[in-house]
Amino acid sequence: MNTQNFKKYVFALALAIGFVVAPGLSSLSTVQAQGWGWGRGRWDDRRDDRRDDRRRDRYDRREEEKGFRDGLNRGREDARDRRRFDPNNSSHYRDGNRDYREGFRSGYSQGYRQYAYSRRY
């Protein structure tokens, strides 16, 4: 085989390998840019997001439970003192966050009804 044909063969082989390898390498850089690459990628981020969501859910549940207890007590007090049914009458309700107010409303209505019902019978 003469050198001219050998050079053409090596060039064609290198070109073929380049066509096979280049798309794979370019997709790796795209994957890494999207966060799926080596090290800390999207999977780890998703795991952290789920962990953060669970923490927020626990916090939200605690706030809702605290609001429920406070609302239950306030509802009983309002029914006992014969005040009208109005959870917004409490500064705790007005100053609480969304989850606290949601728990407060349900606790307030339950406490108000329980006390009012028990007084009738």
pLDDT of residue 21: 72
According to the model, what pLDDT value does residue 28 have? 58
Euclidean distance between CA atoms 85 and 115, whole angstroms: 12
Distance separating alpha carbons of residues 26 and 82, to the nearest angstrom: 74
The residue whose two tokens read 């780890």 is 44
Calculate mean pLDDT across residues 75-94. 91
- In this structure, are residues 109 and 87 in contact, taking their beta carbons and an 8 Å threshold? yes
The answer on pLDDT for 22 being more than 60 is: yes
Q: Is 105 exposed, middle or buried (0-12, 13-18, 19+ CB in 10 A)?
A: middle
- Top pLDDT among 39 and 119 is at 119
CA distances from 42 to 32, 35, 49, 61, 97 (A): 10, 5, 10, 28, 32
Under 8 Å between Cβ of 75 and 115: yes
